[in-house]
Amino acid sequence: MSWKKRMQEFPLHIMLLPGVILTLLFSYVPMAGIVMAFQKFQPSKGIFHSKWIGLENFNYMLDLPNFTSVLWNSVYIAVLKIIAGLIVPIIAALLLNEVSKAFFKRTVQTIIYFPHFLSWVILGGIFIDILSPSSGLVNEFLGFFGIKPIFFLGNEHWFPVTLVVSDTWKNFGYGTIVYLAALTGIDQSLYEAAVVDGAGRWKQTLHVTLPGMMPIITLMTVLSLGNVLNAGFEQVFNLYSPMVYSTGDIIDTFVYRIGLLDAQYGVATAVGLFKSVISFVLIVLSNKLANKYAGYRVF
């Protein structure tokens, strides 16, 4: 690269500098704290003087009676969210694609996109109100059909379902953007040929639209593998209670309670490191699968 070319690009590198500094400060410098996973950490002594205990924190973590259920809850809830987060946006995109009225289409898009930009602190309060077994709108509606009130946020069987449904409702509108973009890339002559062959809208969807969307569907599916252990801390933290720990407690909330509430910093760091290593392996695997089946590469 010539000196003149480098000088032309120098302002662009300067613009990147604040982002690089923030990434170093908040993503890389804190990684020094990983050593706490191998220490009997005491805040008064710090990471440089705390006792080194090797893998004892990991052994303690694996011996915890509820760790297996926490791991299972994380995987179970995350997998259900991934499945629903793929299917519902695809269906929504297909339905929106069939709408011919531009004003109505834009209105619907705006309405379903809006919840994505609300935090779980706000939505948590809303869901607590509307799902209340005594005065919630959902249970009042079910009462018209003779169904007894359901404690969605306090019943261990209903709580995971509530998490998946509410998360899908919040994010599916934003997810439709990807699939609507994929629909615009389908060759329109394929639809014309399908009409000539006598295919109706349903046949066109099956044999033209879905095959045309398949590359992006495959890509989004394999990339979502890296989130198998990310069941959504903000959502669970704002909605769960001790009544649903058996089916709703996930790794992130488990780490929060052990680390910040019980002050077992070494064990909490060990659990977090365990999750990070597995997530890293899954992300590498998903990128390889994305490259193999969808021709997508991050680097």
Establish if 26 belongs to a structural domain.
Answer: no
Residue 171 maps to which CATH number?
Answer: 1.10.3720.10
DSSP string across 75-129: HHHHHHHHHHHHHHHHHHHHHHHT---HHHHHHHHHHHHGGGGS-HHHHHHHHHH
pLDDT over 90, % of the chain: 9
pLDDT of 299 reads 59
Q: pLDDT class for 297, splitting at 50, 70, 90?
A: low
Establish if 44 belongs to a structural domain.
Answer: no
Contact, 283 vs 229, CB < 8 A?
no
AA letter at 105: K
AA letter at 59: N
End-to-end CA distance of the chain: 21
**pLDDT tens track for 159-208:** 999 999 999 999 888 888 888 888 888 888 888 888 888 888 888 888 88
Establish if 124 belongs to a structural domain.
Answer: yes
pLDDT of 206 reads 84
**pLDDT tens track for 48-65:** 888 888 888 888 888 888
- 3-class SS at 142? helix
* Mean predicted lDDT score pLDDT of the chain: 85
Establish if 1 belongs to a structural domain.
Answer: no
Establish if 136 belongs to a structural domain.
Answer: yes
Reference 278, options 233, 225, 231, 234; nearest CA is: 225
**pLDDT tens track for 208-236:** 888 888 888 887 887 787 777 787 888 88
DSSP string across 176-187: HHHHHHHHHTS-
Euclidean distance between CA atoms 258 and 270, whole angstroms: 11
Q: pLDDT class for 45, splitting at 50, 70, 90?
A: confident
Asked whether residue 156 carries a pLDDT value surpassing 80, the answer given is: yes
Q: Are strands 39-40 and 51-52 parallel, antiparallel or unpaired?
A: antiparallel
Q: What average pLDDT does this structure show over 253-267?
A: 86
pLDDT of 226 reads 73
Asked whether residue 21 carries a pLDDT value surpassing 90, the answer given is: yes
pLDDT of 177 reads 86
Establish if 46 belongs to a structural domain.
Answer: no
Asked whether residue 1 carries a pLDDT value surpassing 60, the answer given is: no
Euclidean distance between CA atoms 19 and 35, whole angstroms: 26
pLDDT of 162 reads 92
Establish if 200 belongs to a structural domain.
Answer: yes
Establish if 42 belongs to a structural domain.
Answer: no
Q: The whole model's pTM is what? A: 0.83
Residue 188's domain spans which residues? 53-294
- Tokens for 133? 């077994």
**How many folded domains does the chain comprise?**
1
**pLDDT tens track for 111-136:** 888 888 889 999 988 888 888 888 88
Q: pLDDT class for 294, splitting at 50, 70, 90?
A: low
